[in-house]
Structure 1
Amino acid sequence: MHGLLALRDFSTAKTILHTSVLSSLMSIACEVSAAEDIQFNTDILDLNDRTNIDLSQFSRSGFILPGTYPMQVQVNTLVLPEQRITFYPPDDDPKGSQACLSSNLASQLGLKENKLTELSWWKEGTCLDIRSLAGMEVSGDLGTSTLYISVPQAYLEYNAQNWDPPSRWDEGVPGLLVDYNLTAQSINQRNTASRTDLTGNGTFGANAGPWRLRADWQGRIEDEAVNSRKNLEWSRFYAYRAVPSLGARLSLGQNYLYSDLFDSFRFTGAALNSDDSQLPPNLRGYAPEVVGVAKTNAKVIISQQGRVLYEALVAAGPYRIQDLNDAVTGTLDVRVEEQDGSVNTFKVESSSIPYLTRPGTVRYKLATGRPSYLHDGGQGSVFGAGEFSWGVSNGWSVYGGGISDSYYKAFSLGVGRDLLAFGALSFDASRASATLQDDTLSGASYRLSYSKKFEEYDSQVTFAGYRFSEKNYLSMSEYLDARRYGERVGGSKSLYTATFNKHFREAGLSAYVTYTDQSYWDRPRSNRWNVSLARYFNAGSVKNINLSLNLFRNQEHNQRTRTQNNNSGMYLSLTLPLGRSGTLTTSANNSQNKSTYSARFSDQVDERNHYQLAVSNTSIGGYLSHTADQADQADLTFSASRQENNHTSLGMSARGGATLTPYGGAGHRSAGAGGTRLMVDTSGVPGVPVRGYGNPTRSNAFGKAVIPDVNSYLRTAASIDLESLPANVEAAQSVTQLTLTDGAIGYRTLDVIAGYKAMVVLRLSDGRVPPFGGTVKNEKQQETGIINDGGSVYLSGIRPGGMMVVSWGGAERCTLVMPANLPDDGLATTLDLPCQMLIPDNAAPASGIRLTNTEITPS
């Protein structure tokens, strides 16, 4: 007992005390069936008073006293969120105890529909009768606060690692949200007017049940000495929700047509689409990515038809943007604004992989509404569009669709084939007819797509495709542009695109290649390719040296004037590890017939702060990124450079958001505008480090923290970083899991106890002490200690003037009030506190237990 006084860590002390109590009980308990009572031989307990013991919770093997307990639920190997589980005596065993599986909990088991109809209930229809599912077993363990449920796998819906069936999805709680991304740049050049611009985009939103209401905005303010321009606009207002029974997403309002057969355009109306994100990860679609090389610290803006999809500051050197939504289809516009004032633009085709569907399933997309331009409002006639894909067998898929309004009609039909070891292939043909000013244009378009992962060669063709369109073929967006401008503009002729990567592991070399070639009937042809080669190797005592080469070219061919515009470049770099975590990179960059040579040093101050210092033959600059560590902060990025000819530039970006629910609110960093997030309540305790899949963030002054890096329809875990807990804080529950639907605001509470920790000796009003094994709980019903011999207990969560309740014999017996002034030396002082009786201590031991001094026998 005196050894406990020297312990400085409550978790260690509490573990030792639990182990002492449980090991003593295990050593004296006999092996009896769950239905039999247990007697304890108290002679072998090393206690001063063997008659003052409360072992009621251990009186039967596996027995849990009737009542309600917060417990984590484990179904087979899957851990569900903590829930309040009630134990009732079953009808055929008044002295027994059985967990009540409510209808809400039963819906989370993931049972197949035919099994749901077989369920029967007891306790007036409120508790599941596990006998209605042959082979199902349920058991509770108070030691781990876990309810174990075993269900035969044949009864359960399909599930995959980190993915749950729809019965376990969580729609979240009602709430409001705002996400923003702001970028400011100031450029000053000798003999030229200085320029300052502020750009931003973001989302305002509200959640109500399964519905998500969103409003996207974007804006730009440019301030020059002789001119100033301001532009702020709402790019779309829309509402959407998941329809799990259909595996689809319903959206209403202003949106973009997301199609695998037809190009994208903006419209106002309604859409019902099969949602690939609701599928297991291995069955989901292809998300586009954008690669390139920045000459200086630069701002990259990715947009589609005027709507900004992505905007960020990137450091000088190669960049690769891979976090675009897989729902994005069609052509993307990329704009790279360098800090030296130059601007580079190009297009990226976000084509889909071959159109294949799982055997026996049908995917579909339906939409109707009125086409509208971002700046001009509604235009065009009401249209309807629909497409489908049917998995005929293991190897074949058939797909097709159509889109039509009063003056335009297009139909498409195709077939996909899984070639197994040779990859996947699809081919489709489309035909369109459009009427423009009494002139009818009709033509066809053909597309071939291929994808293959060559595992034996450690390489992959992510996407390769070719599309050819006849001169009189108009896509829907080309038709809308022709109506808007009064004449046809452009007209796609052919499109080649391919993405390939390969790893040569023995040589430590990796290669990545992308290529796009786009030609038009009456516009200049353009193509773009990018090649990246990287090799890691060791040289003597220097490990992990990286040598990389990036080659790129953007070309535009004007067949009428027989001219060609080229923007090509090369980037060669050698990176050496330097210091504990730093790297030194020397590079040569040639672009637009201009060569630069630079050296850059980058390092991490800690896991949240990363910086880069660069010097070249034409400039000097720096880059700093900061990831928020508090719940009310945003991610920040700073950049500065000085070019030749007295050209200076400064840049800053802030990316964050705020979420408000009926349970509280918090600021936070932002992972995606209007996206899914999880609010964690640390029981009102501030400064608790909470981690998702990224860096941890600390709860705010109200004990709330928002984790934004949450994937929709994938199992998400949130945990407390126990290594970084403040000294006066203890986590009684450190992990929670859930699966959120798209755009949901999840809410979970983690059991955290804050306050002083000290050894306390409890005394009753008549001088006696509470029995060994009694429990102490605070005002939040959190267990703060277990009583040891002589009424001593090591308590956590002590607050000046706070009150706690002591229980034994299955009832709350007395209360104790903490001193208003607590000693500063904590464990060095033992507190003697009176415990005021609530009910007389004359109740017999709980049913099912008898204490003897000589032997253990079943009752």
Structure 2
Amino acid sequence: MKINGTSLHSCQAMGRLNPVLRCLGGIMLLAANSAMAREYYFSPSSLEGEALQRQNVDLSLFSRSGAQLPGAYLCTVVLNKDRQDDETISFISGKQGQLEPQITPAMLRKWGVKVDRFPALAALPAKKPLPGSLGNHIPFAVATFDFETLTLRISMPQEAINSQSRGYIDPSRWDDGMPVAFADYAFSGTQNEGHAISNRENQYLNLRSGINIGGWRARNYSTWNKTDDAASWRSINTYLQHDIDSLKAQFTAGENSTQGEVFDSLQYRGVNIVSDEEMLPYSQRGFAPVIRGIASTNAEVSVRQNGYVIYQQNVAPGAFEINDIYSTTNSGDLEVTVKEADGTEHRFTQPYSSVAVMQRPGKVKYEMTAGRYRAGNNSDASEPLFVQGSAIYGVNNLMTLFGGVTHSQDYRAINGGTGVTLGELGTVSADVTAAWATLDNGKQSDGQSYRLLYSGKLTATETNFTLASYRYSTEGYYSFEDANQKYDDEDNAWLFRYNKRNRLQASISQNLFGSSLYLNGYQQDYWATDKKERSVSAGVSTLIGKTSVHLAWTYSKATDSESDQMISLSLSVPLSEWLPRAWANYNFSDSKQGYASHNLGINGTLLDDERLSYSLQQSHTNHDGDDNSSLYGSYRSQYASLNAGYYYSSDSSRQFSYGVNGGLVAHPNGITLSQPLGDQFAIVNASGASGIRFVNQRGVATDWQGNAIIPSLSAYQENSIRIDTTSLPEDVDTDETAVTVVPSRSAAVSAEFTAHVGYRALIRLRRPDGNLIPFGAMATSESPAMNAIVDDTGTLYLAGVPEQFSLKVKWGNDASQTCSARVQLDSAKHTANPAGIRTAEALCQQEQHRGH
């Protein structure tokens, strides 16, 4: 019997030799393992046969275990099993072809290595690669690279690593930025026409300008307002500021405001030193409020603090939310005015105060000020010299002590208090301020003010208390601001004569059955009068199917005016199935005066990065029975943020609103226009390449000089700036796509990208004998500097090249294995390629050597 041609007898015979076969098999297995341990030579003829073998191409790099092409790779960095931020690192070929990372001292600092502990290492240039291996500079340190996962693993002795909190940024990495002069502006205007109202025009400019030189910051904050023919210009504050790194504090000289954590915030003209908590990592950190309201038409929202207009913006009809207030103080109530297109106004007060602050054990937060008090705008008050100091100290995990003193010629106050953590219930603090004042009329007055603050969350009910506070003042107590009011025997001086008694404020939010509820309110009353200030707002938001529903109610009562109330209902329905990135909305509002309005509209965004937004609205009001139509749009360009709106009423009145917000920055690389800057910003230079966009930066792109501004960076934290490679112009390519910057307070930092302005090209290379350049040959260009590998069809791909350039090609060590080519791109052949890739064929000629 045979099985596949083999007799059963033969099989039985082999079975009898089984012990021998097992022995031979073991010997062969050991031999195979030994062979596998050796480096094998990969024959090029396996790819292209004898033709390639005759050209003697050197592909030995690819035959070595672990060998890869050198270059820059975006890597995952793992230090002692702790993952760091991704980093683009350059690699060179080692002796055996393996990739060796080009690690710099700056990278080591970034990863938390104690570079200064090794003097020879600290003396090396921060951004140049270490000579030799990492272990030559830090004993027992090893860096290995896994190419398959693009992971750089670093083993580092524990004593060489900073024992810092999570998120720690070494102060040596804080960047004071480059010298710049800038202006950050917000300009808005409205023009009203119609027979029902008089023609009027209003314009407003909010201007923050500054100069940065080294670590010094000079700032001015001013506003300009024009109504018809009357215009006014006011400077709110001017100051000079500098970091004090060793104290984790800021030094300020000029006009500014105190923090207001122990005492009420005061405006001053003098000097101030205050601890800066943002210099600490997030894990070691212990408020401008969000303003919500309702607009019935295209409206103008103004926010005043201490009598100054600090914010003004045009909003579309419906509910609005303001969360980008640039406040001049850390406390001081905000007066919000909503001016409708028909001229009607609604006012309410947004309480603004600091929360109870608990400090970690042993941590101190402090502030010291010496200067002259600055009264609020249009305030008739004395402006004496004063000194003030305060401190908050963490005793242990449960208790914080705080206190302070204020002293001037006619006023003295001392404060003391404690904060206690309630665990899951939050934090509560209680303090008392005793004050002795000589008033403007010569009267001596003294008293006390007792304050209770609470912030936290009731876990059982998921109730969030953003801020809840109560203050009781005795009849003889005057705050420093109130004590400096002047007395003129007029009725409008009643705040001087009727000092504050009780003040209660709270901000509460609650999630219930999938809905979000909030309640904000405050009440202030006074001694010797029954007049009160009161403001309350409440609302609920929920989702029914895909429809968002918001119901809100507001109430406000000032001391010298009647109360005002408004209720509103808002519905928002996504229209993505018919119109991408669009929503239909309906708003209803009704006020105490009986003014009711219905509004129906469509909102949405357009363009690839949603930098264009629009709003179409139609409304009806029972006030004179008017029907109103409005159009509002905003556009984020690389030069500024623009907005415009048009409103028309059935009574033939109309309003046109417009605005532009942006920045202008003069820096060593030129002058750049931008979107609003924020406190810290980056100046990108992309080697003259224009049109480069960035990830998560709507509308931002490099200008004709190759510069761009990335606004609103986080101080003392890593900020990653990434190029949007999907939107690169067809004639631009870049070696790196991400840069990380760490700006100090108010810095303008530099972010450099090496961009190649040129074309993408496929180039086929031939030799004079007609043969293609062999697979694996390395082609290099000196101008621009780049390299690429020839594929199996004699073709290589290059990006960022000009129409004419030269190449040097090498595929071995012999002189006959080197040639040079002059490339001329064919502009006609790239049009059919959707990626805009140009093509070319070039003759690669052997270089002529002396003696030949």
Normalising to structure 1: TM-score of the pair?
0.81
2:659 to 639, 653, 660: 653
1:7 aligned partner: none
For residues 369-768 of structure 1, what are the structure 2 equivalents within 5 Å? 369-373=371-375, 380-436=383-439, 438-482=442-486, 488=496, 491-504=499-512, 507-521=513-527, 524-538=531-545, 544-556=546-558, 565-578=562-575, 579-580=578-579, 581-606=581-606, 607=610, 608-617=612-621, 618-629=626-637, 631-632=638-639, 634-643=640-649, 645-670=651-676, 672=678, 675-692=679-696, 694-763=697-766
| Cα 1:408–1:152 shift into 2, 3 Å | farther
Cα distance in 2 for partners of 1:777, 1:256 equals: 60
2:208 aligned partner: 203
Cα distance in 1 for partners of 2:542, 2:96 equals: 72
The alpha-carbon deviation at position 347 of structure 1 amounts to: 2.6
Cα distance in 1 for partners of 2:286, 2:122 equals: 46
Cα distance in 2 for partners of 1:468, 1:141 equals: 66
Q: Is this contact kept in 2: 1:79–1:737, CA < 8 A?
A: no
Structure 1 unaligned regions, length at least 5: 1-28, 539-543, 559-563, 843-859
Deviation per CA, 1:226-274: give whole Å up to 9, x if none.
Answer: xx21112322222223333322222222211222012223222222211
Q: Is this contact kept in 2: 1:588–1:595, CA < 8 A?
A: no
1:346 aligned partner: 348
Q: Is this contact kept in 1: 2:42–2:60, CA < 8 A?
A: no
Percent of pairs identical after alignment? 24
Q: Secondary structure at the match of 2:827?
A: coil
Structure 2 unaligned regions, length at least 5: 1-33
Q: Is this contact kept in 1: 2:382–2:485, CA < 8 A?
A: no
The alpha-carbon deviation at position 818 of structure 1 amounts to: 3.5
Q: Is this contact kept in 1: 2:68–2:97, CA < 8 A?
A: no
For residues 282-301 of structure 1, what are the structure 2 equivalents within 5 Å? 284=285, 286-301=287-302
| Cα 1:44–1:156 shift into 2, 3 Å | farther
Cα distance in 1 for partners of 2:387, 2:818 equals: 71
How many residue pairs get aligned? The number is 781
CA RMSD of aligned residues (A): 4.0
Deviation per CA, 1:115-155: give whole Å up to 9, x if none.
Answer: 45532536985659646756643246789998654556782
Q: Is this contact kept in 1: 2:296–2:597, CA < 8 A?
A: no
Q: Secondary structure at the match of 2:481?
A: helix
Q: Secondary structure at the match of 1:477?
A: helix
| Cα 1:587–1:822 shift into 2, 3 Å | closer
Deviation per CA, 1:315-346: give whole Å up to 9, x if none.
Answer: 22222222335862232232222222122333
Cα distance in 2 for partners of 1:95, 1:547 equals: 64
Cα distance in 2 for partners of 1:210, 1:719 equals: 26
1:213 aligned partner: 218
Q: Is this contact kept in 2: 1:140–1:146, CA < 8 A?
A: yes
Q: Is this contact kept in 2: 1:109–1:167, CA < 8 A?
A: no
2:14 aligned partner: none
Deviation per CA, 1:410-440: give whole Å up to 9, x if none.
Answer: 2111111111122111111111222335433
Cα distance in 1 for partners of 2:233, 2:122 equals: 60
Cα distance in 2 for partners of 1:619, 1:448 equals: 50
Cα distance in 2 for partners of 1:441, 1:837 equals: 100
Greater Cα shift, 710-719 or 401-410:
710-719
Letter in 2 for 1:527: R
The alpha-carbon deviation at position 379 of structure 1 amounts to: 6.8
Letter in 2 for 1:533: V
The structure whose Rg is larger is 2
Q: Is this contact kept in 1: 2:253–2:271, CA < 8 A?
A: yes
1:833 to 812, 833, 842: 842
| Cα 1:363–1:604 shift into 2, 3 Å | same
Letter in 2 for 1:639: G
Letter in 1 for 2:236: S
Cα distance in 2 for partners of 1:86, 1:269 equals: 54
Letter in 2 for 1:495: R
Q: Secondary structure at the match of 2:482?
A: helix
| Cα 1:666–1:125 shift into 2, 3 Å | closer
The alpha-carbon deviation at position 96 of structure 1 amounts to: 10
Q: Is this contact kept in 1: 2:278–2:285, CA < 8 A?
A: yes
Cα distance in 2 for partners of 1:432, 1:513 equals: 33
The alpha-carbon deviation at position 351 of structure 1 amounts to: 1.5
The alpha-carbon deviation at position 198 of structure 1 amounts to: 0.5
Does 1:79 pair with 2:85?
A: yes
Q: Secondary structure at the match of 1:212?
A: strand
The alpha-carbon deviation at position 604 of structure 1 amounts to: 1.7
Q: Is this contact kept in 1: 2:274–2:368, CA < 8 A?
A: yes
1:328 to 308, 327, 330: 330
| Cα 1:146–1:666 shift into 2, 3 Å | farther
Cα distance in 2 for partners of 1:471, 1:798 equals: 80
Letter in 1 for 2:516: S
Cα distance in 1 for partners of 2:110, 2:259 equals: 32
2:246 aligned partner: 245
The alpha-carbon deviation at position 39 of structure 1 amounts to: 5.9
Cα distance in 2 for partners of 1:659, 1:388 equals: 38
Q: Is this contact kept in 2: 1:236–1:254, CA < 8 A?
A: yes
The alpha-carbon deviation at position 534 of structure 1 amounts to: 1.8
| Cα 1:516–1:625 shift into 2, 3 Å | same
Deviation per CA, 1:371-410: give whole Å up to 9, x if none.
Answer: 2347699973432222111111111111111222233222
Cα distance in 1 for partners of 2:180, 2:58 equals: 46
Greater Cα shift, 482-491 or 616-625:
482-491
Cα distance in 1 for partners of 2:222, 2:748 equals: 21
Q: Secondary structure at the match of 2:57?
A: coil
Cα distance in 1 for partners of 2:56, 2:235 equals: 72
The alpha-carbon deviation at position 803 of structure 1 amounts to: 4.5
1:854 aligned partner: none
Q: Is this contact kept in 1: 2:718–2:742, CA < 8 A?
A: yes
Q: Secondary structure at the match of 2:690?
A: coil
Deviation per CA, 1:640-682: give whole Å up to 9, x if none.
Answer: 223464432221111111223223443221153xx21123334
| Cα 1:252–1:123 shift into 2, 3 Å | closer
Letter in 2 for 1:332: L
Letter in 2 for 1:596: A
The alpha-carbon deviation at position 100 of structure 1 amounts to: 6.2
| Cα 1:780–1:142 shift into 2, 3 Å | farther
Q: Is this contact kept in 2: 1:731–1:752, CA < 8 A?
A: yes
Deviation per CA, 1:443-480: give whole Å up to 9, x if none.
Answer: 21111111122345333111111112223222222233
Q: Secondary structure at the match of 1:193?
A: coil
2:232 aligned partner: 231
Normalising to structure 2: TM-score of the pair?
0.81
| Cα 1:742–1:455 shift into 2, 3 Å | farther
Greater Cα shift, 422-431 or 149-158:
149-158
